[in-house]
Amino acid sequence: MKKIEKLDGLISEAVTHYWNTRKKQSDKQATLGRADQGARSAVTGGAHMDKFIELITNLIIEAGADRNCIFHNKHLELPGYFRPTKEWDLLVVKNGQLILALEAKSQVGPSFGNNFNNRTEEAMGSALDLWTAFREGAFNKTIKPWLGYVFLLEDCPESKRPVRVQEPHFKVFPEFVNASYSKRYEIFCRKLVRERHYNVASFLMSDKQNGIKGDYTEPADDLTFEIFARSLVAQITAFGISEN
């Protein structure tokens, strides 16, 4: 696959777009006199991960998928079991069969604590809802859909600083003791895959200053975007969802 061979440059472009989009949204809020919203203005503005979605879409197309099967701007709702619908970031649906669904999320400071809980609960809840709905026949008869998760975290002192845990009654699992938020996210992404909530997860980090130039890191060799991309392509290839 040509794009897989050029992944590093394509990811860098997506990272640059991410930080540029955040900056434009924050600048706009400041111009409108709403600078007091701080980082929240960029968080709620959306579109940060659009270049990642575009990259993933192009990988799907290069693998032979019909463009008409891919949904990333609209028609993103899937039925849930615990709620009527859930909107995903990208879907591939062919002949009434859900082939894949994915989430692309991110977090920057300063509120790593509260947002970590929100992000983890959201990802786990979405997976539980989808797999329960699948079990009840909401999507497919036998074809098991593929679920992917991409997460980009700000690389900064606050995200790398050890965090104390509260243990008033019981001990937490040892891997969380003094783990930074970056380590917590790494553990979280790994466990999402290990527990089969998602087929594959990609965990990336990037700092504001160098991220604008496309710099990023992948802290865990089992959570790289290349592994994510190759698993994605394998799913598309396996079910032959080309136009013909």
What's the rounded mean pLDDT across residues 179-188?
Answer: 97
* Per-residue model confidence (pLDDT) at position 30: 66
* Per-residue model confidence (pLDDT) at position 181: 96
The helix/strand/coil state of 216 is coil
* Per-residue model confidence (pLDDT) at position 87: 96
* Per-residue model confidence (pLDDT) at position 52: 97
Closest CA to 242 of 54, 63, 53: 63
User: Which residues lie across from 150 on neighbouring strands?
Assistant: 104, 202
pLDDT confidence of 152, banded at 50, 70, 90?
very high
* Per-residue model confidence (pLDDT) at position 140: 83
Instruction: Give start and end residues of each alpha helix (H) in the chain.
Output: 2-5, 7-31, 40-45, 50-62, 112-135, 157-160, 181-194, 208-211, 225-238
What is the token pair recorded at 234? 């394998």
Sequence-distant (6+) residues with CB within 8 A of 153 are: 106, 107, 108, 159, 181, 182, 185, 203, 204, 205, 206
- pLDDT, tens digit, 9 for 90 and up, residues 132-141: 999 999 988 8
Cα–Cα dist 121/105, whole Å: 13
What's the rounded mean pLDDT across residues 181-208?
Answer: 97
* Per-residue model confidence (pLDDT) at position 24: 86
| Average confidence score pLDDT of the chain | 90
pLDDT greater than 60 at residue 109: yes
- pTM higher than 0.85 for the full model? yes
What's the rounded mean pLDDT across residues 66-77?
Answer: 93
pLDDT greater than 50 at residue 54: yes
